[in-house]
Amino acid sequence: MAREKSIKIRLTEEEFNLVQDYAKNKSLSISEVIRDYIKTLRQPTWR
């Protein structure tokens, strides 16, 4: 499946460092970390 959408967010230095450190520790890109987290979200009941 092609990825066609993008999201731009603002983070504090602390938030960014946390995500960056986690990604480095897991040998992932920051985008992969965010995508993996999104996959854990439950489907909304209103859908």
**24 within 8 A of 35, measured Cβ to Cβ:** no
**In whole angstroms, what is the distance from residue 11 CA to residue 4 CA?**
23
Q: For residue 47, what pLDDT band results from cuts at 50, 70 and 90?
A: low
pLDDT tens-digit map of 2-46: 999 999 999 999 999 999 999 999 999 999 999 999 999 987 776
> For the whole model, what pTM was predicted?
0.79
**In whole angstroms, what is the distance from residue 36 CA to residue 11 CA?**
18
In 1-47, beta strands by DSSP E? none
Task: Label residue 8 exposed, middle or buried (CB < 10 Å: 0-12, 13-18, 19+).
Answer: exposed
